[in-house]
Structure 1
Amino acid sequence: MRNMRWLPLTIVGSLLLLSGCATSTSTQNSQPWHYLPMAVPLQSTTQQEVQLARIDQILLREDLTEQDKAQIYYERGLINDSLGLRDLARLDFNRSLSYNPAQPDVFNILGVYFTQSGMYDAAYEAFDSTLELDETHQYAERNRGIALYYGGRYDLAVRDLLKHYNDDGNDPYRAIWLYLAEQQKSGNEQATEALRAHFQASDKKDWGWLIARLYLNDISEEAFFREIMRSSTDNAQLAQRLCEGYFYLAKRYQSQGDLGSAVALYKLAMAGNVYEFVEHRYSMLELSLIAQQLNRAVPVS
């Protein structure tokens, strides 16, 4: 049996946060949830702090080539990004491009930043630049599909995400994002049928297929979270899986019109500080979009 001494630190009670979930007709839970699993929020490591200090020292050298500076600023940007320091990271990525503009990875991550900010046209251009430099860059293909999804261009989003899924049918996240786009394009019934077919055709090895089962109503929310708790080997993995689990569950409630539960779950997706995961990145965008939706619904007096 795994050493689970860290487990008591991961549980916080919140009846309010799941009150909406408990009353939803779509859930299979026979009883309301009174407790939500939580991980201890991830913090910066000594290694990351040492790396930043070392990079700052290296940048003081006068013998660096432009290629050296481009690589160093890119690496510092990645560290800042992993710490949630996205303004500093974006500054470093732009500096890196100023020394070497032919960097597909840099354009890709800047495209993600543009998507987070709701600057979809700029995001499309950034991902197009990535793919022009490296047509096999699958992350850019996926991220462009997600940007198109958030930009409301569902036909194009399905095109990109379907190609991305076809490149690896055993990756559950490719199937899930394709499902979300198809849900908007073709409706829930057709998207669910496609997701079930993708699930059945997969090897089902990746834990993320549990999320697909949740969407397919093959597993209850209680069993879903219990499996996350059971299978997570340490706090870092627990934080990562909960970030994903809460995000996609929030998407489910949002699609059902339960914005209160969706807002609570998006906040929980961000609570573990898993800054590098797209689920953390887009939770803030989702909250902004919900706020805009609610503001439009309020009549002007």
Structure 2
Amino acid sequence: MVLIANRLKLACLAAVMMLTGCATSTKTMWTHPPMAIPLQPTIQQQIQLARIDQLMKRDDLDNDTLAQMFYERGLLNDSLGLRDLARLDFNQSLSMRPNQPDVFNILGVYFTQGAHFDAAYEAFDSTLELNFQHPFAQRNRGIALYYGGRLDLAHEDLIVHYQQNVNDPYRVIWLYLVDVERTPEQALDKLRLRYDASDKQDWGWLIVRMYLGDISESDYLKEIASGSESNDQLAERLTEGYFYLAKRYQHEENYSAALMLYKLTLAGNVYEFVEHRFALLETGRVLSQYQAQQQAALQAQTNK
């Protein structure tokens, strides 16, 4: 009953935010925001899943082979948005072969999504102990530390990750998101320096230009829509584009706009992108921040 009550409370709060946002903010009045057809399970994914299920019924498979198959089925379930089933497969794989850095990494991401930050740190530590050159674990640990409020440690991880490839816009973006909360007075200057030092080749630099104010929000969304060559690419770019735009509105304390943009982030069903993975986590954070803002305003009014 408590869980149901909490969900109803959040739903009502979200509805109030959307209504008040529409009434008070001209910046959120997008009549027709760019949208892609939500991604659907492909025939290839479904066939591969059926094949793995069939193969796993054999009784002549050793533990190493089974561990690999559980891992591969977990990846498929994850790509289809079936994260509880994926987590079961990853845990089963790990129980059979415990020295798998990739499994610890994806479980760390799951822990971060669920706001179980201590477990996430341990999972990423395990990944790096098994493979200190893992391409994603340090970034993912930095993101987990960011969400866990440990900004200095997050910066340490993310600055090392950035220095490994200064031409990757997403490394620059996550550093900026940490800087905005850690050293807000310097964040834009640092972002500008990193942008100027890059080759500016990846499309993701458009997001950086939006943060810098070099491109308007309207042109930002138009470029995403016009520059995408297929529906799949449009869905992927909008997942990223809406997420990072939502982060800007959230920082500006425009919570109704941020909430709407996180919903748009989820709309494309691009389950494997970190932006989709963390949009639900951010939605909960937005609702909490809005509630705290309203309570502070009420308290201030009471004290007058």
Q: Report the TM-score when normalising by structure 2.
A: 0.88
What are the within-5 Å matches in structure 2 for residues 179-258 of structure 1? Answer: 179-187=176-184, 189-258=185-254
2:84 and 2:288 mapped to 1: Cα distance?
A: 23
What are the within-5 Å matches in structure 2 for residues 84-123 of structure 1? Answer: 84-123=81-120
1:283 aligned onto 2:279: yes
1:262 aligned onto 2:258: yes
Corresponding position of 1:3: none
What number of residue pairs does the alignment pair up? Answer: 280
Corresponding position of 1:11: none
By how many angstroms is 1:291 displaced? 2.2
1:52 to 43, 49, 68: 49
By how many angstroms is 1:115 displaced? 0.3
Matched to 1:175, the amino acid is V
What are the within-5 Å matches in structure 2 for residues 29-44 of structure 1? Answer: 33-44=30-41
Work out whether residues 20 and 260 of structure 1, in 8 Å CA contact, stay in contact via their aligned partners in 2. no
Work out whether residues 255 and 290 of structure 2, in 8 Å CA contact, stay in contact via their aligned partners in 1. no
By how many angstroms is 1:182 displaced? 1.1
Work out whether residues 240 and 275 of structure 2, in 8 Å CA contact, stay in contact via their aligned partners in 1. yes
1:250 and 1:229 mapped to 2: Cα distance?
A: 17
What are the within-5 Å matches in structure 2 for residues 47-86 of structure 1? Answer: 47-86=44-83
Query: In 2 relative to 1, CA 277–95 (structure 1 residues): closer, same or farther, beyond 3 Å?
Result: same
What are the within-5 Å matches in structure 2 for residues 132-151 of structure 1? Answer: 132-151=129-148
Query: In 2 relative to 1, CA 18–248 (structure 1 residues): closer, same or farther, beyond 3 Å?
Result: farther
Query: In 2 relative to 1, CA 19–220 (structure 1 residues): closer, same or farther, beyond 3 Å?
Result: farther
Query: In 2 relative to 1, CA 52–20 (structure 1 residues): closer, same or farther, beyond 3 Å?
Result: farther
Work out whether residues 108 and 140 of structure 1, in 8 Å CA contact, stay in contact via their aligned partners in 2. yes
Work out whether residues 206 and 220 of structure 2, in 8 Å CA contact, stay in contact via their aligned partners in 1. yes
By how many angstroms is 1:240 displaced? 0.2
Instruction: Give structure 2 stretches of 5+ with no counterpart.
Output: 1-17, 299-304
By how many angstroms is 1:23 displaced? 3.1
Work out whether residues 44 and 83 of structure 1, in 8 Å CA contact, stay in contact via their aligned partners in 2. yes
By how many angstroms is 1:21 displaced? 9.8
The 3-state SS of whatever aligns with 2:270 is coil
Query: In 2 relative to 1, CA 212–297 (structure 1 residues): closer, same or farther, beyond 3 Å?
Result: closer
Corresponding position of 1:4: none
Corresponding position of 2:267: 271
Matched to 1:135, the amino acid is F
Q: Report the TM-score when normalising by structure 1.
A: 0.89
Work out whether residues 33 and 222 of structure 1, in 8 Å CA contact, stay in contact via their aligned partners in 2. no
Corresponding position of 1:157: 154
Query: In 2 relative to 1, CA 21–80 (structure 1 residues): closer, same or farther, beyond 3 Å?
Result: farther
Query: In 2 relative to 1, CA 228–103 (structure 1 residues): closer, same or farther, beyond 3 Å?
Result: same
Residues 137-186 of structure 1: CA deviation (Å, up to 9, x unaligned): 13000000000000000000000000000000000000000000111111
Query: In 2 relative to 1, CA 268–229 (structure 1 residues): closer, same or farther, beyond 3 Å?
Result: same
Residues 52-99 of structure 1: CA deviation (Å, up to 9, x unaligned): 110011001111111101100000000000000000000000000011
Matched to 2:131, the amino acid is D
The 3-state SS of whatever aligns with 1:135 is coil
Residues 168-220 of structure 1: CA deviation (Å, up to 9, x unaligned): 00000000000001111111x31111111111110000000000000000000
Work out whether residues 255 and 286 of structure 2, in 8 Å CA contact, stay in contact via their aligned partners in 1. yes
* Amino-acid identity (%): 60
The 3-state SS of whatever aligns with 2:149 is coil
Query: In 2 relative to 1, CA 116–160 (structure 1 residues): closer, same or farther, beyond 3 Å?
Result: same
Query: In 2 relative to 1, CA 298–219 (structure 1 residues): closer, same or farther, beyond 3 Å?
Result: closer
Matched to 1:257, the amino acid is E
The 3-state SS of whatever aligns with 2:166 is coil
2:181 and 2:294 mapped to 1: Cα distance?
A: 24
By how many angstroms is 1:19 displaced? 4.8
Greater helix share, structure number = 2
The 3-state SS of whatever aligns with 1:101 is coil
1:23 aligned onto 2:31: no
Query: In 2 relative to 1, CA 226–21 (structure 1 residues): closer, same or farther, beyond 3 Å?
Result: farther
Query: In 2 relative to 1, CA 17–92 (structure 1 residues): closer, same or farther, beyond 3 Å?
Result: farther
The 3-state SS of whatever aligns with 1:36 is coil
Cα RMSD (Å): 2.1
